[in-house]
Amino acid sequence: MRAARSPLLAAAVVLAVAAIPSPARAQKAVGPPSIDAPQAILVEPVTGEVLLAHHSRESRPVASTTKLMTALLVLERTSPDDVFTASAYRPVSSAETRVGLRPGERMRVRDLLRALLLASANDAANTLAQRTAGSTGEFVALMNRRARELGLTDTHYSNPIGLDDPGNYSSARDLARLTARLLQIPFFAHTVGLEHARLASGRRPRVIDNRNDLVGAHRYVNGVKTGHTLGAGYVLVGSASRRGVTVVSAVLGEPGEAARDADTLTLLDYGLSVLRAQRILSPTRPVGRVAVRHREDQSVTLVPAGSVTWVMRRGQHANVSVRAPRVLEGPLPAGTRSGTAIVRVGRRVVARMPLMTAAPVPGVGPLERAADALLKPDTLALVAAAAAALVLAAALHRRRSRAGAGEAGSA
């Protein structure tokens, strides 16, 4: 097996630039919606594109959406199958949400996380924090460290629950960034999309409801977390998915649940209406052809090694530039890497995908190589020049021979 020779690779050039347009049936542009939330944001979590922002960098109390960072640390530092012993918890107010954990009760981490994320249980948050880090204080230190690592510059934590405290705050932008990270974790993404959950571990089975009423009421809404305190007002980080597109919203400081839910739906619907998932590269769609050395009448098709799908605004397009050798020399099997496709959206490179030969590259024998070499224009020119030189030399030789014969006859 021989790969393409390095001189060929060194001479790689752009073979093609293809525009991938939006569907021919363009939809009418929709302007950003009007919402009443004091702080809000709408983002596409994979690309990070901000579709709408309203005072999104202002820090303020965020109530139980604080538990999103609690969940992240627990998921990163424990296993859902671990078993924790419930610690004692004294609620600040009788209105706090709990699942009724008793000190010493043993419950799996997966059930504690479900209680944390769906029922927003403060006693579950307390147990998770203490058993993960050894103490609440150490867990809060970990929360702030992780916030810095994630670039959540508008955020600071003073407790793992979200109780009102001057040192516990975040912003709409930071909540959206944190949620984008969490949605990469399958357990989290599945859990926050549940309408109900059964907690099988512990002293007794428990059935809990998701406090995010939009989940279940709207099939495309699949998360994420509610929050409410007197200081924070009503808070909701939402997510929704449709046809390969996911958007994340956050509204802070809402006056009530109705306003919170209405603004969240408005944002999610807007995001899903202006974005589309575009399949840009596919192994079934060739992107170019390369000549075969010594067989100039033949070429081999190049196909992407995998698929690339990118979420973009309707009306945007992606450009694909293909870099590959000018010529491949066989024999090479099908599936030999022979270049790279570079995908750009605007000025941003969003993907680099290896290119493979779709079929074997045939080899050639010595006679074909010799024939190919003889038939090349440069070789033919040299042969013609050599032949001309021989003819000229022969003519000169004959002329000299005649001249010599004539002199001999005169003598």
Long-range contacts of 336-343 (CB under 8 A, 24+ apart): 336/1, 336/3, 336/361, 337/3, 337/305, 338/4, 338/290, 338/300, 338/302, 339/12, 339/288, 339/290, 339/302, 341/281, 341/287, 341/304, 343/280, 343/281, 343/308, 343/310, 343/318, 343/319
> Residue 398: what pLDDT?
76
Digit-coded pLDDT (tens) for 163-199:
999 999 999 999 999 999 999 999 999 999 999 999 9
The CATH number of the domain covering residues in 39-275 = 3.40.710.10
CATH second-level architecture of 6-23+282-357? Sandwich (2.60)
Q: Cα–Cα distance between 299 and 116 in angstroms, integer?
A: 60
| pLDDT exceeds 50 at position 19 | no
Q: Give the residue-averaged pLDDT of 342-370.
A: 86
> Residue 12: what pLDDT?
41
Digit-coded pLDDT (tens) for 295-339:
778 899 999 999 999 999 999 999 999 999 999 998 999 999 999
> Residue 375: what pLDDT?
55
How would residue 376 be classed by pLDDT, with cut points 50, 70 and 90? Answer: low
Least confident of 218-232, 256-270, 295-309: 295-309
| pLDDT exceeds 80 at position 207 | yes
Q: Cα–Cα distance between 337 and 332 in angstroms, integer?
A: 10
* Residue in 196, 202, 236, 241 with CA at minimum distance from that of residue 222: 241
How would residue 13 be classed by pLDDT, with cut points 50, 70 and 90? Answer: very low
Q: What percent of the chain has pLDDT over 70?
A: 85
> Residue 372: what pLDDT?
55
How would residue 374 be classed by pLDDT, with cut points 50, 70 and 90? Answer: low
Amino acid 285 reads: R
- Kindly write down the DSSP assignment for every residue of 313-356, as one continuous string: ETT--EEEEEEE-SEE-S-B-TT-EEEEEEEEETTEEEEEEEEE
Q: Give the residue-averaged pLDDT of 211-228.
A: 97
Domain boundaries, the chain: 6-23+282-357, 39-275
For residue 233, give the DSSP letter: E
Q: Whole-model pTM above 0.75?
A: yes
Q: Give the residue-averaged pLDDT of 3-28.
A: 41
Helix (H, G, I), strand (E, B) or coil at 254: strand
Return the beta strands (E) in 136-274 as ranges.
Answer: 196-199, 206-209, 221-229, 233-242, 245-254
Tokens of 295: 């067989």
Q: Give the residue-averaged pLDDT of 192-219.
A: 97
Question: Bridge partners of 349?
Answer: 344
Mean pLDDT of the chain: 88
For residue 303, give the DSSP letter: E
- Kindly write down the DSSP assignment for every residue of 140-161, as one continuous string: HHHHHHHHHHTT-TT-B-S-SS
End-to-end CA distance of the chain: 73
